[in-house]
Amino acid sequence: MSYTGADLIADALAQLGVEHVFGIVSIHNMPMMDAINRLGKTKIIDVRHEQAGTHAADGYARATGKLGVMIASTGPGTSNTVTGLYEAQYGSSRVMVITGQAETGFYGKGLSYVHEAENQVPMLASVCRRVESPRHVGQLGPAFTAVLNDMFTGRGAPGALEIPIDIQYADAQKIEVAYPQSDFLPADDQIDAAVAKIKESGRRLIIAGGGVIAAGAHEEVQALARKLDCPVLTTVDGRGTLPEDDALCVGNYYNSAGIYNAVQGADLTIAIGTKFAVGVDGQFQAQTPPGEMIQIDIDGNMIGRTHLAHIPVMADAKSALTAINASLDEVQPNDGQFNEVIWEARDGVRKAMRDRLGSDWPQVMDAIRAKLPRDGVFVRDQTISAYNWGNQQFPIYEPRTSINPTSGAIGPGFPMSVGAAIATGKKTVIIHGDGGFMFHATELATAAQYKVPLIICVFNDSGYGVLRWLQDNRFGRINETDLGKVAFAQMAGSMGVPGERVQSVGEFEAAFETAMAADGPYLIDVDMEHFKPMEISIMPKQKKEVDVKASA
């Protein structure tokens, strides 16, 4: 049998160690699907929607650091991937969409060829850093390599490759592929300046972002923090840099007023792999890092963009911190009084936020943490439970075990958790709101088909809870946010996923234990109407933080 363009793709994925790809079969990708299965080194996960499959590939990439792959069809199939690629771009996640295309003889002729999508490349380019579209089978290997190299050089990014159907069938030559060596080494003068500033400072603060996790630099951050006896704050994507029960870890609280006020005595901020993301209505932009700032980032465009970087270090986090640590054999530890102010603020903020959860929700959170192993993966969608305890209070202990939609979208959480659980084989928990869950509820069938080790917790308040309270705060009324109560356990059961509805802490604890023991996915429909209410923070238009009672 001849070696075709489709075989080239299957072989390239196998060489890269891609164990799973997500996809939906179509007339325009059948050769690739067949080649992958014939080779037998990569398993195809049949998702129910291309957007969900792209999010799943994203979760796969974030949980492992490997390449995440979605195989789609040209036209409508590829347009469905764009939202998933948007999230991957926002999160600097290495997701590759491989799609078909009309055969080269019809491409660009405007003859209404089935699934014709002659502007597919610019569409994909709006959410990908590099898109390739070979016109001859001899261009296929270089096109694949070009997309791969771009994705893994510098800051992570999604990429896309469209392959006309005749090129998939055409005879091809084997290629050799490998991940590029993407270390960006720092300039000596930048390291010297950073080391000198660290040595002359006595009240330092580390802020660790998602770039630390992406670079695999958590051990280097830990080593630096211990040398300096320095508090470490993280962004939401930087969680797991330090175990959150570590004495030096403050956690994802930089944007908390109590913590921000406490760190103002710092004379140096060491910011690593963070964009200093700006929130709704410009929220957080005014929170200038205290003291002078060393900013380490692999993307020079991000250095100094939000806040002045007094000492820029353009490099990947691992290389930069390795060099800095090697030059800090003799350094005075942080001022103990400065640290103590931060520890007191940390403990106070943690307690205050826990108290705001009321009597029931801390027990729900603790029940999950007690049963989930330290290396179990914890995924959140954008929902009240994520905002109020999942993103900050639920302890994270290891890198790549905390995943959330970086863009702030609702809906990606569930398919991302499917991808993460498939990638790791570890018990994975997803906490979701009912509104966002409905975006991709059909992936319950995918979870059942592959016995994905996933615990799906749907916190059901019969609507878009976060938006409901924003509306109430800003307008004094709510509209278009009530959705009605869905029987999610029955829905899950219809697709082969066992589950149950719970209406108390005790019922939740029992259901979670059952879910942990299940061989495959399990859904817990948490009827929030029967739980004691928590307080939530809402950012009104005037940019003041207001607490309101959130009755479920």
Residues 381, 439: contact at Cβ < 8 Å?
no
Pairing of strands 249-251, 232-234: parallel
Show Cβ contacts of residue 109 under 8 Å, excluding neighbours closer than 6 positions. Answer: none
**125 against 540, higher pLDDT:** 125
Nearest residue to 47 (alpha-carbon basis) of 18, 74, 69: 69
Query: Over 80: is that where the pLDDT of 204 sits?
Result: yes
**Arithmetic mean of pLDDT over the chain:** 92
Quick: pLDDT tens for 318-367. Answer: 999 999 999 998 899 999 999 999 999 999 999 999 999 999 999 999 99
Quick: pLDDT tens for 388-425. Answer: 899 999 999 999 999 999 998 999 999 999 999 999 99
- In a domain, residue 430? The reply is yes
Q: What is the pLDDT of residue 285?
A: 65
Residues 513, 371: contact at Cβ < 8 Å?
yes
Query: Over 70: is that where the pLDDT of 182 sits?
Result: no
Domain identity same for 145 and 215: no
Q: How confident is the model at residue 286 (pLDDT cuts 50, 70, 90)?
A: low
Q: What is the pLDDT of residue 480?
A: 85
Q: What is the pLDDT of residue 312?
A: 97
54-68, 94-108, 301-315 — which one is most confidently predicted on average? Answer: 54-68
Q: Is 213 left (phi over 0), alpha (psi -120 to 50) or beta?
A: alpha
- In a domain, residue 383? The reply is yes
Domain identity same for 545 and 418: yes
Q: How confident is the model at residue 368 (pLDDT cuts 50, 70, 90)?
A: very high
Mean pLDDT to the nearest integer, 17-23: 97
Query: Over 70: is that where the pLDDT of 111 sits?
Result: no
- Among the three residues 292, 316, 349, which one is the final residue of a domain in this structure? 349
| CATH at residue 515 | 3.40.50.970
Q: How confident is the model at residue 284 (pLDDT cuts 50, 70, 90)?
A: low
Q: How confident is the model at residue 280 (pLDDT cuts 50, 70, 90)?
A: low
Q: What is the pLDDT of residue 240?
A: 97
| CATH at residue 215 | 3.40.50.1220
- In a domain, residue 448? The reply is yes
Q: How confident is the model at residue 279 (pLDDT cuts 50, 70, 90)?
A: low
Mean pLDDT to the nearest integer, 27-47: 97
Q: How confident is the model at residue 547 (pLDDT cuts 50, 70, 90)?
A: very low
Mean pLDDT to the nearest integer, 107-132: 87
Query: Over 80: is that where the pLDDT of 385 sits?
Result: yes
Domain identity same for 237 and 141: no
- In a domain, residue 181? The reply is no
- Among the three residues 299, 320, 349, which one is the final residue of a domain in this structure? 349
Which residues sit opposite 456 in a β-bridge? 430, 523
Where are the alpha helices (H) located in 462-521, listed in sequence order?
465-475, 488-494, 505-517
HSE-CB at 542 with a 13 A cutoff on CA atoms is 6
Quick: pLDDT tens for 150-179. Answer: 999 999 999 999 999 999 999 999 999 999
Q: How confident is the model at residue 281 (pLDDT cuts 50, 70, 90)?
A: low
Residues 430, 443: contact at Cβ < 8 Å?
no
Q: By percentage, how much of the chain surpasses pLDDT 90? A: 82
Mean pLDDT to the nearest integer, 226-245: 97
Domain identity same for 444 and 326: no
Q: What is the pLDDT of residue 537?
A: 59
- In a domain, residue 436? The reply is yes
Reading the block at residue 162, the tokens are: 């469209």
Lowest-pLDDT choice from 196-205, 214-223, 435-444, 541-550: 541-550
Domain identity same for 279 and 382: no
Distances (CA, A) of 482 to 432, 459, 464: 16, 14, 7
- In a domain, residue 222? The reply is yes
d(CA 505, CA 525): 12
b (16+ CB within 10 A) / e for 46-62: ebbbbbbbbbbbbbbbb
Domain identity same for 321 and 428: no
Residues 73, 28: contact at Cβ < 8 Å?
yes
Quick: pLDDT tens for 453-485. Answer: 999 999 998 888 778 878 878 888 888 887 888
Domain identity same for 408 and 483: yes
Q: What is the pLDDT of residue 549?
A: 38
Q: What is the pLDDT of residue 470?
A: 80
d(CA 251, CA 462): 31
Into how many domains does the chain fold?
3
- In a domain, residue 182? The reply is no
- The range of the structural domain enclosing residue 419 comes to 356-550
